Amino acid sequence: MVSRLARAKINLTLHVTGQRRDGYHLLDSLVCFAGVGDQITAQSADHLSLSVEGPLASGVPTDERNLVWKAAELFGHDSGAHISLTKNLPNAAGIGGGSADAAASLLALAELWDVPLPENVLDLGADVPVCLAPMALRMHGIGEKLSLVPALPPLWAVLVNPGVALETPPVFNALTVKENPEMECVPDLQSAAEFAGWCALQRNDLQAPAIGLVPVIQDVLNALAPSLLARMSGSGATCFGLCASAEDAEILANFIRANHPDWWVVATTLS
């Protein structure tokens, strides 16, 4: 039996810098990962099967529609496996849940079967390559170009999702300007406050079109306003608030939970 944590992917910045002829958008994004995520467990079996459990398992498919299943099939391996997915992250939420699940499954199965990772993991989705190395990275192109950045300072955050699933394609379609300036080089900063100040000078170009589609995202950002920086992650609808300490993050998370008990709210670390 092999287990992997599929950590939530957070786009601290997301600059849309162009669009290819095939429709794929070009991105320049600083990505990091939260201390919370889904859980993948793989064990030997006669055939491939998938079960899903956990607080956010409702509606998650257990067949070839799930990226976890597709990740297993990508190996083209003769052996079977039973994969258990514990869903702790909301779906269609802008935090790479499906991609993180696929990446964790690839790593778990490669260890279980003692085989190398498939070469064509990008076929599973643009976010899968970065989720294979859950650390702070700069992501270029459509997600296939990854580069190292200086180590992030200690960061704490509150993640909030209003319980509204938001698919990625409509958000990109609502973006009117496709060619925008690239992100500045990531500096080597020592404190959360300094880092939040730098992040504030960068952008998420999908935030405005996402709010146009799902106005409650602005309510989430307003709720996170006491943090050092409030911004949407990915294509939404999850937003994050950077905090200076674990205590600050817990206080803000508890305040938001009390006022919005139907929202998904988590205080966590980022790295």
Q: 47 is written with which tokens? A: 């055939």
Q: What is the pLDDT of residue 215?
A: 98
pLDDT in tens, 253-270: 999 999 999 999 999 999
Nearest to 266 by CA among 157, 165, 192, 162: 157
Residues 249/267, Cβ–Cβ less than 8 Å: yes
Q: What is the pLDDT of residue 77?
A: 83
Alpha carbon distance 28, 140 (integer Å): 5
Q: What is the pLDDT of residue 180?
A: 97
Q: 210 is written with which tokens? A: 């996402």
Q: Is residue 127 annotated as a catalytic residue, yes or no?
A: yes
Q: Is residue 145 annotated as a catalytic residue, yes or no?
A: no
Alpha carbon distance 108, 86 (integer Å): 14
What are the distances in angstroms from CA 14 to CA 137, 143, 259?
12, 11, 29
Fold annotation for 150-270: Alpha-Beta Plaits (3.30.70)
Residue 169: CB atoms within 10 A of its CB come to: 9
Selected catalytic residue, list 101, 127, 205, 248: 127
**Cis peptide bond prior to 108, omega within 30° of 0:** no
- pLDDT < 50 positions in the chain: none
Q: What is the pLDDT of residue 218?
A: 98
Selected catalytic residue, list 9, 87, 101, 205: 9
User: For 30, how many CA atoms within 13 A lie in the half-sphere containing its CB?
Assistant: 25
Q: What is the pLDDT of residue 246?
A: 98
What ranges do the domains of the chain cover?
Answer: 2-140, 150-270
AA letter at 219: D
Written out in words, the top-level CATH class of the domain with range 2-140 is alpha beta
Q: 149 is written with which tokens? A: 């950045």
pTM equals 0.96
AA letter at 115: V
